[in-house]
Structure 1
């Protein structure tokens, strides 16, 4: 991996991590098109630069993280389902990450669903409900679905929040907060596996890691601010169209055998 490739992947991560369009899917596509997807360091890097993205959440919402212990207990309750399933089915999840066709299908199907989300949950915008413990657990269960590449962790948890009668802004913000423990745990686990399997981490890898996280942090800060404003004004439909188009393109390229094989 070169510095330029690291920057490109970090920009993709920063833009897509908190948007409901699947950061994992985009990272697979981006690294595949650059011909580096099968490299062990790349696989670790695409997860590890989430540290920069989650730092942006902490910086933007730092007051919420010092509000009360109740806030952390709710995050823990929401984090637990995915943590348990991720630990038990880690190998299966890793195998799915190699499937570009899975990314295409989930982007496509999710995009179709997105065309109807605003109408389904339109009454939620009148609600001022906040996240309680039962809601946190149910949102956490929705997060399990995001282990399928292309689903989008952000999409799954926001929809989970909407299903609990939260309005779009509240659901999106809780999705951001839940990303912190979830992505931190995923990063630590991926780095552990990388080193356990003999991965190198010399001066070049340290430089790539540092640059990637700084770029992801800056881009994610911009993306979060823009997303909340856009979502509350325009809803999910545009994201739905984007997912449908991207999903179709990926599937066409995949079945034609053009450029998206990562095995």
Structure 2
């Protein structure tokens, strides 16, 4: 079954969607959209370093994404507004990554595949990495769900409940770095933030509880992956952007339905 490239691509898309959904909820609740974007942009530097040292893409992208996320977390509130700091770090990391790639002589690089994903080229090994990373992210978030929620709602509430908000921020940062690293092959560094944010934002208006929002976001992400891949196959469009387009259409449709319901009531 896994010899079929479309089957591998579909499983990869569902795996990334499963990791991105609960994490995306916290990104939306904490208004960390630009934070996720900056981490994803930094991953291209990790790709360049991995290729330079002739190693797998995953560890290099993970290491650089994690360093970026931790650096931004430590520098936040030290003289610069968060959006300014994220803008500087994100675009600088992306620029340095692209320049580093240009110095890799003798190595054929499909830069578009890293920027926008190449899900149709996912191998069995890639699939194991994607599902392993997704399982780790889901396990971490499930384990720390109550603590993460309390820290998101109010830091004082978290301290009163016996949780350390800084530790929960670190866990969230680690999950974000892992998700970015495993999602590069699927949607690329420029679209990872969209896969994190759009399903969660679409689920926000329909869910009544945080747990329901995470579940609905996962369903929307999974449907977006399956339908987007099918559309890319039928209409010969880029797979990664097609997945994001389907998620955006679902977001728009759910909001139109919600607005229509509110007008009727």
Q: Taking structure 2 as the reference length, what is the TM-score of the superposition?
A: 0.30
Q: Which has the higher contact order (CA 8 A, sep 6+)?
A: 1
